Amino acid sequence: MTVTQSEPVTSGTVVAGLPETVCPRPRPATLRGCGTARGDYPRPAGRDRYTISEVAQHTGLSAHTLRWYERIGLMPHVDRTHTGQRRFTNRDLDWLDLVGKLRLTGMPVADMVRYAELVREGEGTFAEREELLTRHREDVRQRIAELESTADVLDYKIGIYADARRASERV
Amino acid sequence: MTVTQSEPVTSGTVVAGLPETVCPRPRPATLRGCGTARGDYPRPAGRDRYTISEVAQHTGLSAHTLRWYERIGLMPHVDRTHTGQRRFTNRDLDWLDLVGKLRLTGMPVADMVRYAELVREGEGTFAEREELLTRHREDVRQRIAELESTADVLDYKIGIYADARRASERV
DNA sequence: TGCTTGCTTGGAGTGCACTCCAACTCTTTA
DNA sequence: TAAAGAGTTGGAGTGCACTCCAAGCAAGCA
């Protein structure tokens, strides 16, 4: 993982053509970590330029997914070296942390892209951002309630099986 | 929605195992049933034979999905009329309640099918059922923790936007 | 008898969120 | 200079959980 520390920052404006896949209806609660191991490696102090594979290590996302995130507009503009390779900053890692959180809560990618757009558009979109997050917060609250009620059902059934097991063990 | 009330009640093969009854306590509004309006219609008293569309109403699942559930082995044996139409029982509705709960928690359909198999196989599978549910219960516990930590992040960011809004309103 | 409604089937299609591929460039190491 | 290795792209493929379709059957009604 050698890192080229100083490079001319030729930021060519690459505007990813949004496919804008709008999700009109609420989603099923299908989540789970999607196979990849969760990263959470500590960030090296004093560093502010990371290759795609370093970021993949950090975040637990694959390099494929990071490129895909950029393509669909889910990343703020990512810096490039003069040869066109991506160099992610600490700010990008912060953003990916947030995205990871939102993803864990089942926010559709389309909504996250919308939020990213609002962030790119600047301070004028604070109100809409607050609204979007508030709406999602309410979703999360509801999901927690759902999960807790299901946990009760599970406890109830597990209890029945455990009782049956203990009864048979006592024989 | 005409209901054929009296039919030859050829309810064969009572599935061995526990009464698959759920709901140790009233559940908090489990809204958002995948696009269709969530059912939760009260069950008519004294009825024990429902058409597929009635069950769809009840559960919020589509008739398509109910047929698909049966095809992949997620339903216990469903009764048929002499002309081959499905007639679901209250026991089936109980089962679908449980399946709905598990689905809301993101249990993969394959795992639910496995559980259904175990139920069909009878009392000898109590231990494995207990294990499966216990494992899933741990998953749910973890998901709740994830959601709560994300909720904290959301509160933090919402707070920032709200502060900005209040500051601009004060001007 | 024809029309409508509701059900049946196997198989194909959809949407989401990745995930991979082929063909290529650039940099580093031997 | 050659090879290895990490990066680039557009586009195709994957897995899950549905979702729909066409074609047909059965019952009720005008």
Nucleotides of strand D lying closer than 7 angstroms to a protein CB:
6-10, 16-21, 25-28
User: Going by C-beta distance under 8 Å and a sequence separation of 6 or more, which residues neighbour residue A19?
Assistant: A72
How far B28 CA lies from chain A's nearest CA (Å)?
Answer: 7
CA-closest candidate to residue B123, choices A151, A159, A168, A150: A168
Choose the weakest-confidence range: A4-8, A19-23, A33-37, B141-145.
A19-23
Q: Phi and psi dihedrals of A62, rounded to 5?
A: -80, 160
For chain A, how far is it from start to end, CA to CA, in angstroms?
62
Residue A63 has pLDDT above 50, yes or no: yes
Residue B76 has pLDDT above 60, yes or no: yes
Strand partners, A87: A79
What is the share, in percent, of chain A residues with pLDDT greater than 70? Answer: 75
User: Going by C-beta distance under 8 Å and a sequence separation of 6 or more, which residues neighbour residue A127?
Assistant: B161, B165
Once rounded to an integer, what is the mean pLDDT over residues A65-93? 93
Residue A15, helix vs strand vs coil: coil
Looking at residue B24, its pLDDT comes to: 29
Q: Which residue in the set B133, B146, B149 is minimally distant from A154, CB to CB?
A: B133
* Measured distance CA(B28)–CA(B25) in Å, rounded: 9
Strand partners, B88: B50
Once rounded to an integer, what is the mean pLDDT over residues A1-30? 30
pLDDT in tens, B2-58: 333 333 333 333 333 333 333 222 222 222 233 333 445 667 767 889 999 999 998
Residue A33 has pLDDT above 70, yes or no: no
Strand partners, B80: B86
How many of the other CB atoms lie within 10 Å of CB of A144? 19
Check CB contact under 8 Å for A165 and B98.
no
Choose the weakest-confidence range: A19-28, A99-108, A148-157, B79-88.
A19-28
Are A1 and A54 within 8 A, CB to CB? yes
Question: Mean pLDDT, chain A, as a whole number?
Answer: 78
Looking at residue A17, its pLDDT comes to: 27
Looking at residue A69, its pLDDT comes to: 95
